[in-house]
Amino acid sequence: MNPTETAIRQFLVEDVFYDRDLGSLGPDDSLLAKGLLDSMAILKTVTFCEEQFGITIPDQEVLPDHFESVRAIAKLVERVRGK
């Protein structure tokens, strides 16, 4: 995992899922198939990424495909950061 993925993964496990047993969560594991993300979790994750990476994620980018997995969220962050 690259540093962006590592930071997002750690945030999700500790501050969103409250479950360190998810230590095995892989970068491509689906967050949505298991119903791990609710609306509050999405808001928190967006806020975390914006603060952590100094970016603004446009609302229309906050869509299921971009939150499918840790890797997908990291890709979104990189794409927004590259703009």
Footprint of other proteins (CB under 8 A) = 14-15, 17-20, 32-35, 37-44, 59-60, 62-64, 67
Residues 6+ apart with CB under 8 A from 69: 27, 28, 29, 30, 31
Nearer to other proteins, 1 or 32 (CB): 32
Residues 6+ apart with CB under 8 A from 55: 49, 77, 80, 81
Nearer to other proteins, 54 or 58 (CB): 58
Nearer to other proteins, 2 or 79 (CB): 79
